[in-house]
Structure 1
Amino acid sequence: MSISVRAAERGDVPALVRLRLANAERHVELDPTVYRVPDVEAVRRHFEGVLSGESKVVILVAEVVGEVVGMAEVVLLADPPDHQILAPCRAADIHTVVLDGHRGEGVGSALLAAAEQAAAERGVSIIHAGIFAANKGAVRFYSSAGFGPRGTLLSKEQDASVDG
């Protein structure tokens, strides 16, 4: 099976929407209190906007036999402001999606390798993959690709109502 990875184009928007919604459905199964299935039109507008001009997001697609079966988004992050203690470092977040019928075939690995190359070409020296701990498959995938812990993200839910 031949996998080709290329930069996404405007004509890929329907496939990108399908991938985002499929990914959302998988995540809702993990925890419906954390994840949701976004509005289809909002997703379409997002991808059309990203692909219409200069963007801080690089989108790559993976094709198998001419069908888009996966995508990777590389979201370029701003350097920390001068007042913060973090050393300046060009960084990016990465998000990958592979359709269920094509998992385990090397599609994710091909996307990740191309995304790392695209990030390096843009001067990125660190890539973050924010993974929900319950998503064991994604943790395993990124760990096997050399990603490891870099700090701990702690959170606390609180009552968001404000008495005024």
Structure 2
Amino acid sequence: MSILVRGAERDDVPALVRLRLANAERHVQLDPAVYRVPEIRAVRRHFEEVLSAESKVVILVAEVGGEVVGMVEVVLLADAPDHQILAPCRAADIHTVVLDGHRGEGVGSALLKAAEQAAAERGVSIIYAGIFAPNTGAVRFYSSAGFGPRGTLLSKELGTRSAGQESG
């Protein structure tokens, strides 16, 4: 099986939408209080915007047999402002999705390797994979690729969030 990883193009938007929605459905099963299935038009609009302009998001896709079966988003983060105590470090968040029928075939690893290269070419020196604890498959995948803990992210529910409204 040959895996082709390439930059996403505008023609890939339907496949990217399919991947995002499939990923959302899997995550809702993990914890419906944390995750949701976004509205399809919003997902389509996001990918169209990211692929049509200069963006802080790099999207790569993986093809197997001519079909897009996975994607990775590299989201470039803002540099720490001069007044903060964090040492300057170019960073990015990474989000990987592989369709269920193609997991365990090396698609995710190929995407991750290409994403690391794309990030490094943009001066990124550290990438983050934010994973909520219940997603043991994602923890296993990223851990096997050399990701490890870096600090602790603590949260506290304030009870102010309502349907369709994000807190923060």
Please state which band the TM-score falls in when normalised by the shorter chain.
over 0.9
* Partner-residue secondary structure (3-state), 2:6: strand
Give me the whole-angstrom Cα distance separating, in 1, the residues matched to 2:7 and 2:148: 27
Which residue of structure 1 lines up, in the alignment, with residue 114 of structure 2? 114
* Partner-residue secondary structure (3-state), 2:150: coil
Which residue of structure 2 lines up, in the alignment, with residue 25 of structure 1? 25
Matches within 5 A, 1:91-106: 91-106=91-106
Give me the whole-angstrom Cα distance separating, in 2, the residues matched to 1:127 and 1:92: 5
When normalised by structure 1's length, the TM-score is 0.97
Matches within 5 A, 1:1-150: 1-150=1-150
Query: What amino acid is the match of 2:134?
Result: A
Instruction: Give 1:82 shift.
Output: 1.0
Instruction: Give 1:83 shift.
Output: 1.1
Query: What amino acid is the match of 2:117?
Result: Q
Give me the whole-angstrom Cα distance separating, in 2, the residues matched to 1:92 and 1:150: 14
Give me the whole-angstrom Cα distance separating, in 2, the residues matched to 1:159 and 1:75: 28
Count of aligned pairs: 161
* Partner-residue secondary structure (3-state), 1:97: strand
* Partner-residue secondary structure (3-state), 1:152: coil
- Counting aligned pairs with the same residue, the percent is 87
Instruction: Give 1:53 shift.
Output: 1.2
Which residue of structure 1 lines up, in the alignment, with residue 156 of structure 2? 156
* Partner-residue secondary structure (3-state), 1:69: strand
Give me the whole-angstrom Cα distance separating, in 2, the residues matched to 1:102 and 1:21: 16
Query: What amino acid is the match of 1:130?
Result: G
When normalised by structure 2's length, the TM-score is 0.95
Unpaired runs of at least 5, structure 2: 162-168
Query: What amino acid is the match of 1:16?
Result: L
Unpaired runs of at least 5, structure 1: none
Instruction: Give 1:42 shift.
Output: 0.1
Instruction: Give 1:159 shift.
Output: 2.8
CA RMSD of aligned residues (A): 0.8
